[in-house]
Amino acid sequence: MAPSRTVFVANLAFDVSEEQLANVFSEVGPVQSAEIKFDNQTGRPKGYAFVTFYDEATAISAIRNLRDTNVNGRTLRIELSNDDPASSRRRRDHGPPAPVNRDLTPPVHAPYRDEPNIDLYNLPQGQEVLPGEKATDVISRTLAAVTPGQMQEVMAGVKTLITSHPEQARQLLASQPQLAYALFQAMLLMKIVDPSILQRISPLPPAAPPTNFPPVSQAPTSFPPYPPTQSAPTYPAVPAQTYATAPATAQTSYPAATAQPSYGYPPVQQPTQPTQPALPAHLQTALASLPEDQRAMLTQVLQLTPDQINRLDAGQKATIMQLRQQFLGAAA
DNA sequence: GTTGAGCGTT
């Protein structure tokens, strides 16, 4: 059975509102609903709640990332909900309802026999993010310490997982966005993907709640050169498991809501931005290792048309041509 | 005015 998209939240302070709760859980991903349970007799909250996300992976991520979170003086206790079969009006946006199997004979093959059986709850801890440090920095550092051979090994393993067990891979990457980020950065380093696709990744909507991990659109546009120049110490080729600790909970109080709660946003596909003309991949990669200002300048220089170059004065022209010669070689 | 484990009628 598929894991639940709902988490059971206990040890709630009695003065926490559903909005506040949804806000806290939005740290980890879009929240579909947050329902605090009340006692009908007394009208007082029972001190626990159910928070539903749009997918299981986010629910699991919430358990990992929001543990020990303090809200109004009490530490949240978060578990995966026992999905009550009675309240089955969810799972609808995940496709049509499963067809009723009228054939009572069990399937010939035991399902999931070959599943790699990734335990999403028991992943290695990964690298610690120190205070004042960004998770992206730790990932960059970790990747820089991985030898090309190790990186290739990991990528091959991931590829195997994705092709043989796509659903497990999806769950793993969705619940561990830092891993997805690291893999993407590794693909850039290994020149498997063209850095220009960074331009085509549409930003999250402005109203997007902060996640426990920066969205890909905020990925740094420059990466350290690869392979690393200094001899890298060997580390076990373990995926970067870096994760940021949940930030201190917002203590803002919210007005009581009367409207049907719907927080965050459904994980819809965002429209893609128009692509902009880009330099060849190998040039972008070369440029990526330069400081921001130099990169911007060089990008402009390399994109000049012959016509534009001809309009420059002699001194500028010579400088420009020299730069272009250096980067474009014969093509200049 | 009170409460503190819990899996769901606000």
Q: Decide which of A328 and A149 is more confident.
A: A149
**Domains of chain A: total:** 3
Shortest-distance nucleotide from A52 CA to C1': B8
Residue lying closest to nucleotide B4, CA to C1' = A11
A14 and A85 together in one domain: yes
- Alpha carbons A35 and A16: distance in angstroms, whole number: 11
The two tokens of residue A24 are 């806290």
Q: What is the CATH number of the domain that holds A70?
A: 3.30.70.330
pLDDT, tens digit, for every residue of A217-236? 333 444 444 444 443 333 33
Give me the residues paired with residue A79 across strands.
A8
- Alpha carbons A221 and A223: distance in angstroms, whole number: 7
Q: Is residue A49 part of a domain?
A: yes
What is the pTM for the complete model shown?
A: 0.43
Domain boundary among the residues A199, A214, A241 is at A199
Q: Could you tell me the pLDDT band of residue A212, with boundaries at 50, 70 and 90?
A: very low
pLDDT, tens digit, for every residue of A17-75? 999 999 999 989 899 999 999 988 888 899 999 999 999 999 999 999 999 899 999 99
Q: Is residue A239 part of a domain?
A: no
Q: How far is the CA of A13 from the C1' of B5 (A)?
A: 13
Q: How far is the CA of A42 from the C1' of B3 (A)?
A: 11
Domain boundary among the residues A170, A199, A228 is at A199
Q: Is residue A251 part of a domain?
A: no
Q: Is residue A123 part of a domain?
A: no
As a whole number, the mean pLDDT across chain A is 66
Could you give phi then psi for residue A79, rounded to 5 degrees?
-135, 165
Q: Pseudo-torsion of CA A316, A322, A323, A324, nearest 10°?
A: 100
Q: Is residue A24 part of a domain?
A: yes
Question: Which residue type occupies A70?
Answer: N
Q: How far is the CA of A38 from the C1' of B2 (A)?
A: 17
Q: Is residue A218 part of a domain?
A: no
Domain boundary among the residues A73, A90, A107 is at A90
Give me the residues paired with residue A207 across strands.
none
Q: What range does the domain containing A187 cover? A: 135-199
Which H or E run contains A10? strand A6-10
DSSP-assigned states of every residue in A222-291:
----SS-SSPPPP---PPP---PPPPPPP----PPP-SPP--S---PPPPPPPP-----HHHHHHHHTS-
Q: Is residue A221 part of a domain?
A: no
What is the 3-class SS of A151-209, one letter each residue? HHHHHHHHHHHHHHCHHHHHHHHHHCHHHHHHHHHHHHHCCCCCCCHHHHCCCCCCCCC
Q: Strand B: which bases are under 7 Å from protein Cβ?
A: 2-10
Shortest-distance nucleotide from A80 CA to C1': B7
Nearest of A19, A5, A14 to residue A260 by alpha carbon: A19
A84 and A154 together in one domain: no
Whether residue A271 is preceded by a cis peptide bond, meaning omega within 30 degrees of 0, is no
Q: How far is the CA of A12 from the C1' of B4 (A)?
A: 9
Q: Is residue A97 part of a domain?
A: no
Q: Is residue A275 over pLDDT 60?
A: no
